[in-house]
Amino acid sequence: MLKRKVGDDDVVPVEPRRSNRQKRNNKETTTSLQSSKKGNQKKATNGPVLNDIISSTTSTKSSQLNGAKSTSNSSSTRQYWLMKAEPESRMEKGHDIKFSIDDLAAKTEPEPWDGMLSLPHVFQVNINTNVFQRNTSIFRCVTLQFNDIVTTLTYILARNNLRAMKKGDLAFFYHSSCKIPAIVGIMEIVEEHSPDLSAHDPKAAYYDPKSSPDDPKWSVVHVKFRQKLKTPITLKEIKAWFEERGNALNNMQMLKLARLSVSKVSSEEWRFLVGEMKKNGDEIEE
């Protein structure tokens, strides 16, 4: 069954910030150079969005290496995730990619979680012609390229998150691209990542001509239904907690990185959300 591909628009993409630094005069420049010689020069940064992606990707790779020899997770080493799917019908190359928590609950065997395809090509933007004709501002052109890069890195991060999952991990099932986006249930990872064979099928919704059986580009994990929430935790609620100073969700990956369909959830974030679910009458068994 096809799942939500990366491309969720529930979270508004974060735009790159304009520089508000003033041009320095010669005196300031001289002072800066002197400070640099003393070893006080500041390191350059990549910007908040790219830093988040780079940091998250590094963390995921570390998780993959540390867990390479593990075949299953105990509760003390368990990882947590949030995975998005579309509960309403949408056609992709003749295939309906709808998949809801009820669809998962109806399955009698482990379900492959796929749809991690359609990776965009970052550098297909023709800066010399069309972009400049449509956008007179150079900044808007740079913004377009920046967003393309962020989107591509987000795809890669989602794929890496999928590959970092271990047997026994738990995940929130999240309904996206619908009237009320929300966490609606819990599922368990029962089989770790394996090649996504649908990527090699030209008739498949997410066919990738660059992926082959000898060199697979994409992966799937297998999941099973654990629980459906009586009261979903809505995106509106999650955003409110995210914006609340000192809240456990202040660094939640799903909200910091736009369009991320498979995101990591920290133990602290999981406990907080499970606590809110209990307040709503949903007892979560782990």
What residue ranges do the domains of the chain occupy?
46-279
pLDDT grade, residue 92 (50/70/90)?
Answer: confident
pLDDT grade, residue 124 (50/70/90)?
Answer: very low
**pLDDT score recorded for residue 159:** 86
Instruction: Kindly write down the DSSP assignment for every residue of the chain, as one continuous string.
Output: ---PPS---SSPPPPPPPP-PPPP-HHHHHHHHHHHHTT-PPPP---HHHHHHHHHHHHHHHHHHHTTT-SS--TTT--EEEEEE--S--EETTEE----HHHHHT-SSPEEE-----PPPGGG--IIIIIHHH---HHHHHHHHHHHHHHHHHHHHHHHHHHH--TT-EEEEEE-SSSS-EEEEEEEEEEEEEE-GGGG-TTSTT--TT-BTTB---EEEEEEEEEEEEEEEEHHHHHHHHHSTT-TTTT-HHHHSTT-SEEEE-HHHHHHHHHHHHHTT-PPP-
Instruction: Kindly write down the DSSP assignment for every residue of 156-212, as one continuous string.
Output: HHHHHHHHH--TT-EEEEEE-SSSS-EEEEEEEEEEEEEE-GGGG-TTSTT--TT-B
Q: Are 46 and 134 in contact (CB under 8 A)?
A: no
| Residue 61 vs residue 17, higher pLDDT | 61
**pTM of the prediction?**
0.70
CATH of domain 46-279: 3.10.590.10
pLDDT grade, residue 81 (50/70/90)?
Answer: very high
pLDDT grade, residue 217 (50/70/90)?
Answer: confident
Indicate the average pLDDT of the chain: 75
| Residue 34 vs residue 120, higher pLDDT | 34
**pLDDT score recorded for residue 126:** 39
| Residue 283 vs residue 16, higher pLDDT | 283
Q: Read off the pLDDT of each residue in 242-252 and give the average, rounded to a whole number.
A: 96
Inter-CA distances, 123 with 63, 108, 133, Å = 30, 43, 18
Percent share of the chain, pLDDT over 90: 42
